[in-house]
Structure 1
Amino acid sequence: MAEDLIIVGAGGFGRETVDVVEAINAAAAVPSWHLCGLVDDALTARNAERLRARGLRHLGSLEDLLARESRPRYVVGIGSPSVRRRIAERLDAAGFSATTLIHPQATLGSEVTVGAGSVICAGARLTTNIQIGRHVHVNPNATVGHDTTLANFVSLNPSSSISGDCVIEDGVLVGVGAVVLNQLTVGRDAVVGAAACVVRQVAGGSVVKGVPAR
């Protein structure tokens, strides 16, 4: 029987996460998930219409979710690592359990581990011996090279590329089309700007952009 699931966040990535759920169900002999709906504290009129057009339910705010007697599985479909962390900590403390969603058209090689709450989208490519933490987002067509670690609450935006033997620490956001070269560490809560090329270590909490990234 399909397991109940709620997505937190009805913006762009939240609705892309719906695509991942639908693809997982379509590829299975028996659907894995019953998507109850999406939770969003600040649903815009435009996003409300987008949900209606897809037949998706808005289930109210995070407080409404926390007040439910049932405890369905969840993922947080919000791109900001810091916001995702705050929400996940509240839900975990209230007895909710995160699940992991991997699109059937993502490619995962050998010895790849993926933590709870993570979402891996179509076209993502992860090679070998990769550790992915909790609540990580790997957007469409992002790539992760061998022997790399993505810690908790990392976001890899579309078409970004992490080379081999890298460490991407907690809460890092790597922008669209950005590249991190081999054997580098990007420190906790850093931001790598879109289309940047990281050629040296990145200190925690910093913002780097450009080619080479500074």
Structure 2
Amino acid sequence: MKQQQLNLQENNIIMDKIAILGAGGFGREIKTLIDSLNNFEKQYDLIGFFDDNIEKGTIVNGLEVLGGVDDINQVDYEMHIVLGVGVPNVKEKLISSISNSKISFPNLVHPSVIMSKDDVLLGQGNIICAGNILTCNIKIEDFITLNLCCTVGHDTIIRSYSSFMPTVNISGEVEINRSVYVGTGAKIINQLSIGENTIVGAGAVVAKTLPANCTAVGIPAKPIKFH
């Protein structure tokens, strides 16, 4: 009996508590990402969602909504939070509203991601979904979302809060500034930059540098309005 108890203690796995902020579509996809990470190696105790727009106690994909941002700020134990939203300015607003020193923001990288060991630097709170390929000498700051099957080429810099929808292709030596949103299937040619707060439409091809605070669409992508 003592030997059985010892074996149980040795097999006891300590996992970090983690919750998802945002229980919408992307937040539910984040749950599947965390499930995939745990299937590969037990890392996280996923305790639920936080969402200011869903009633506390609601069950979403088998997990309870634990409250909103105010409830996160009342947590009295160490916990990871991952952003389940993709809109840059919403991400920035949510992060600025979290003041609890017990909260940390891990990088979540799906096990299928191909990422070079040659000088790929990640900040905090980044989400890199299944099928992404990151080559070498890349700097990714904080709270970046790389959705399914994106590619990022060499010597690229991506500033904080930017989001990339599925199958975006970013060539080498590109600089993408803060809070940029790039739609599904867009392509960014090498040695260009995109100004902060700019939106690139789905399927666009960015063949020239884009200014800040615009929406650009088409092939080649051109600004159609400024905001």
Show the 5 A alignment for 1:84-103.
84-91=91-98, 93-95=99-101, 96-103=103-110
* Higher relative contact order (Cα pairs below 8 Å, separated by 6+ residues): 1
Alignment of 1:38 onto 2:46 = no
Identity of aligned residues (%): 34
One-letter amino acid of the counterpart of residue 42, structure 1: N
One-letter amino acid of the counterpart of residue 65, structure 1: I
Separation in 1 of the partners of 2:139 and 2:84?
A: 20
Return the offset for 1:97: 1.4
Alignment of 1:57 onto 2:64 = yes
| Helix, strand or coil at the partner of 1:211 | coil
Match of 2:34 among 21, 32, 35: 21
RMSD (CA atoms): 1.3
Which whole-Å deviations, capped at 9, do the CAs of 1:111-153 have from their partners, x for residues lacking one?
2112110000000111111111110000000111111011100
One-letter amino acid of the counterpart of residue 105, structure 1: S
Counterpart for residue 80 of structure 1: 87
Return the offset for 1:209: 0.3
Counterpart for residue 10 of structure 1: 23
Say how many residue pairs are matched.
Answer: 205
Q: Which structure: larger Rg?
A: 2
Return the offset for 1:202: 0.8
Counterpart for residue 133 of structure 1: 141
Instruction: Give ranges in structure 2 of 5+ residues lacking alignment.
Output: 1-13, 223-227
Task: Please identify runs of 4+ aligned residues in structure 1 that moved more than 3 A.
Answer: none
Alignment of 1:153 onto 2:161 = yes
Return the offset for 1:69: 2.3
Q: Is the 8 A contact 2:69 2:97 kept in 1?
A: no
Q: Is the 8 A contact 2:185 2:204 kept in 1?
A: yes
Separation in 2 of the partners of 1:64 and 1:76?
A: 15
Q: Is the 8 A contact 2:135 2:154 kept in 1?
A: yes
Separation in 1 of the partners of 2:54 and 2:194?
A: 33
Instruction: Give ranges in structure 1 of 5+ residues lacking alignment.
Output: none
Separation in 2 of the partners of 1:115 and 1:57?
A: 29
Q: Give the alignment's TM-score, normalised by structure 2.
A: 0.87
| Helix, strand or coil at the partner of 1:67 | coil
Q: Give the alignment's TM-score, normalised by structure 1.
A: 0.92
